[in-house]
Amino acid sequence: MLDSYGRRIDYLRISLTDKCNLRCSYCLPHGVKLVPMEDLLTLEEIAAIVRCGAGLGIDRIRLTGGEPLVRRGLPELMAMLQGIEGLKEVAMTTNGLLLRQYLPMLKERGLKSVNISLDTLDAEIYRQITGYDGLQEVLAAIDAALSAGLKVKVNAVLMAGINADSYKDLAGLAKAQPLDVRFIELMPIGEGRHFKGVSNEALLQDLERDFGRPERDDRIHGNGPARYYRIPGFQGSIGFISAMHRKFCGSCNRIRLTAMGELKPCLCYDTAVDLRTLLRTRGEAALPEAIRQAVARKPEAHCFETADHITEQRRMASIGG
Ligand code: SAM
């Protein structure tokens, strides 16, 4: 599918649930009211949307959330997705806490790559950000995913005054292990509005000072907007997703399905097409037109740099970060 600016839309991110087993301060802090189960898309509804999307050229999807591994019935969903014609890739973004437990199932059902979110290697800062003592489990999950032959990327969000200094340890993961570490600039979405992010421009300079001159790495590392660099002596690359300081909307290929079934053409705006209601009132046959409609409504660019233009009020966990 081409949108009205000629961009090919072939990638769908799906929030399987707004629930999570962590309470990250900038994402889903304690006290947030979660959506009742009946308001979430059912597994069959998710599969129906993916099947229809695949027929329209959406050939890669990412399961996220909330935490995708806490969604009940995930093995059954993975099995349903495996059989969908035209779907070339199913990837996942997870906090890693339950990954070791589900790894054999995920591998068996076709998962080839996983993004693991980790914002610090300091156990105390990890607890401060997430509300839990989970650092060792996440590190073990990274090792296990690599040993299982999955392609692994570690995603980190840095915040001034909280974990900004963790960048060096995090980058060091790509030195010690064959994985990419990506720094995602904090976006003013949901709770993220209340924190100050770190500019990737400044971070690149810090990395150069600490590790030597990074060189641009133009090999394709995935479906996303990250710009990659290689540092001498590192096994993996360092990626930067600079939503705030280097807009990449011209090459945006994605749409997002919220846990409640709204299809969002852009993270920044509240524009969405309600696929859940459509499915429940008119059935699967109504989906292709609705998906095309959402793609046609994709704006030229996000507006994160102008905070008062952002219309999206949902949290990252329900949108699917
Ligand atoms: N629970 C899974 C995880 O932790 O990876 C998937 C969902 S989580 C919302 C996905 C990613 O969104 C995490 O890497 C998190 O750091 C990121 N995220 C959440 N809020 C953000 C924000 N305001 N700006 C940038 N990234 C954000």
Q: What is the pLDDT of residue 75?
A: 97
**Best mutation site among 25, 26, 27 for ligand 1 pocket (most ligand atoms within 8 Å of CB):** 27
pTM: 0.97
Instruction: Write the burial class of residue 165 (CB in 10 Å: 0-12 exposed, 13-18 middle, 19+ buried).
Output: middle
Q: How many residues does the chain have?
A: 321
Distance between Cα 146 and ligand 1 center (Å): 21
pLDDT in tens, 77-110: 999 999 999 999 999 999 999 999 999 999 999 9
CB hemisphere CA count around 274 (13 angstroms): 7
Give the residue whose CA is nearest to atom 16 of ligand 1. 157
95 lines ligand 1 (CB under 6 A): yes
Q: Which domain holds residue 24?
A: 11-319
Ligand 1 contacts CB of residue 268 (under 6 A) = no
How many structural domains are present in the chain? 1
Calpha distance 256→15 (Å, rounded): 8
Q: Which two tokens stand for residue 129?
A: 């950000």
The pLDDT tens digits for 31-86 are 999 999 999 999 999 999 999 999 999 999 999 999 999 999 999 999 999 999 99
Averaged pLDDT of the chain = 95
DSSP string, 2-62: B-TTS-B--EEEEE--S--S---TTTS-TTPPPPPGGGSPPHHHHHHHHHHHHHTT--EEE
Higher pLDDT residue, 222 or 275?
Answer: 275
Measured in degrees and rounded to the nearest 5, phi and psi for residue 305 equal -75, -15
Structure-token match 């495996």, residue found = 82
Residue 109 belongs to what H/E stretch?
Answer: none
Kindly give the residue spans of alpha helices, DSSP state H, lying in 86-122.
Answer: 99-108
φ, ψ dihedrals at 12, nearest 5°: -125, 130
pLDDT category of residue 230 using cuts at 50, 70 and 90: very high
Identify whether the C-beta of residue 257 lies closer than 8 Å to the C-beta of residue 49.
yes
Closest by CA position to 272, among listed 290, 254, 250: 290
Q: Which of 238-273 are b and which e, b meaning 16 or more Cβ less than 10 Å from the residue's Cβ?
A: bbbbbbbeeeebeebbbbbbbbbbbbbbbbbbebbb
In a domain, 2, yes or no: no
Confidence class of residue 305 from pLDDT cuts 50, 70 and 90?
confident
Q: Exposure of 32 by Cβ count < 10 A (0-12 exposed, 13-18 middle, 19+ buried)? A: middle
Asked if the structure places residue 3 within a domain, the reply is: no
Protein residue with its CA nearest to atom 20 in ligand 1: 27
239 pocket-lining for ligand 1 (C-beta < 6 Å): no
Q: Is the CB of 317 under 6 A from ligand 1?
A: yes
Report DSSP state, residue 174: H
Which tens digits make up the pLDDT trace of 152-188? Answer: 999 999 999 999 999 999 999 999 999 999 999 999 9
Give, for ligand 1, the residue of 98, 157, 196, 312 to mutate: max count of ligand atoms closer than 8 Å to Cβ.
157
| Res 222 pLDDT > 80 | no
In a domain, 249, yes or no: yes
* Residue 157, ligand 1, Cβ within 6 A: yes
The residue to which tokens 């971070």 are assigned = 203
Q: Is-contact 167 211, C-beta < 8 A? A: no
Q: Is 18 in the pocket of ligand 1 (CB under 6 A)?
A: no
List the CATH number of the domain containing 155: 3.20.20.70
Nearest alpha carbon, ligand 1 atom 8:
321
Residue 1, in any domain of the structure: no
CB of residue 321 inside a 6 A radius of ligand 1: yes
Determine, yes or no, domain membership for 163.
Answer: yes
The alpha carbon of 64 and the centre of ligand 1 are apart by a number of angstroms equal to 9
Contact 99, 114 (CB under 8 A): yes
- DSSP state, residue 282: H
Using CA positions, which residue lies closest to atom 11 of ligand 1?
Answer: 321
**121-125, 234-238, 243-247, 257-261: least confident range:** 243-247
Which of the residue ranges 62-66, 74-78, 244-248, 258-262 would you say has the lowest mean pLDDT?
244-248
- DSSP letter (8 states) at residue 259: T
What's the pLDDT tens digit per position in 93-152? Answer: 999 999 999 999 999 999 999 999 999 999 999 999 999 999 999 999 999 999 999 999
23 within 8 A of 132, measured Cβ to Cβ = yes
Quick check: CB of 186 below 6 Å from ligand 1? yes
